Amino acid sequence: MKALKILVTGANGFLGRSLLGLEGEAEWVGCGRRVDAGDMLYHRVELTDRAAVAALVAETNPDWVINTAAMTNVDRCEEDVSAARWANVEIVENLAAACGDTGVGLMQISTDYVFDGESGPYAEEAGTKPLSCYGQLKLESERLLQGLERAVVVRTLWLYGYVPETGANFTTWLLQAVSGGESVRVFDDQWGNPTYVYDLARALVGLCREEARGLFHMGGATFMTRHELALELARFFDLDDGLIQPVRTQEAGLLAVRPLRSGLRTDALEAVLGRRPLTFSEGLERLARDPHFCRDFPEFAR
């Protein structure tokens, strides 16, 4: 069977690099603004340049484009709406135009922030009501795919795991802080279902392979608060969970409003892929055996 050829935008980010790390799952091509991208097959491109995007899609001729390029710092989106629109909408407009002209499939990664967090976990047909600039722009980006013949939107949330050379994330921050004896505060009123990043990456490839269409939700199989997540993470790696203190979101003085009782139902995704997402404990087991994690954090290896 011919291997899928997938072009990944935002190839230097957390999700982008996790996709490119799935050797044998597809023929991968990465693209982004960075000059040095290591030894991956990579194209430097300005994704806000519509002509450059069209030329790249025509040159690489992928089966699918998975767009992981985005501004995901929700408070920064409130501070710099212009940059947020550039990253979260204009790039998608250019990709939709290029893929629509060539018949290439386009997969857009979206978020649970399109919901208000009043009654999660949410199914795909639930009504949207974003509370932040980030959520509003991601919802706008979803709608840009509606006229395409081959298009998929995947909403996800709370990515965790370890991907080399992508900077700190919640997982590595918490492990390093607590193992160093530092007390941390974690929200106990934000609910969701944490998603192991490589589980998400494999699900995205699976949807491409199945030639799926439409809207899907992808989150882990465990519904919990961020504070519960942090406690379970610390206990799994034999750290002092007494250093993890609960805090309410309103006490943090955050700029952007967060959906509190969120979470995503995954029934539609499970029906297409024939499997359920990993539970949080299963994801931690995968993390603890990941060779890159074991190399860079040997004190936590299993």
134 is catalytic: yes
Residue 121 inside a domain? The answer is: yes
Q: For residue 150, give the CATH number of its domain.
A: 3.40.50.720
Residue 182 inside a domain? The answer is: no
Residue 169 inside a domain? The answer is: no
268, 269, 272, 275 alpha-carbon torsion, rounded to 10°: -120
Residue 232 inside a domain? The answer is: no
Q: What is the pLDDT of residue 42?
A: 83
| Amino acid residing at 101 | D
CB atoms within 10 A of CB 59: 11
Residue 171 inside a domain? The answer is: no
Residue 62 inside a domain? The answer is: yes
pLDDT in tens, 102-153: 999 999 999 999 999 999 999 999 999 999 999 999 999 999 999 999 999 9
Q: Is the peptide bond before 121 cis (omega within 30 degrees of 0)?
A: yes
Its pTM surpasses 0.75: yes
Residue 58 inside a domain? The answer is: yes
Q: What is the mean pLDDT of residues 166-170?
A: 84
Tally the residues of the chain: 302
3-state helix, strand, coil in the chain (%, to 5): 40, 20, 40
Residue 208 inside a domain? The answer is: yes
| 33 pLDDT above the threshold of 90 | no
Pair of tokens at residue 74: 């929700």
Residue tagged active-site, from 42, 113, 122, 134: 134
Q: What is the total count of domains within the chain? A: 1
Pair of tokens at residue 127: 């009504």
Domain ranges, residue 95: 5-162+195-220+259-280
29: which residues sit within 8 A by CB, 6+ positions away?
5, 6, 7, 8, 41, 42, 43, 60, 62
| 233 pLDDT above the threshold of 80 | yes
| 242 pLDDT above the threshold of 80 | yes
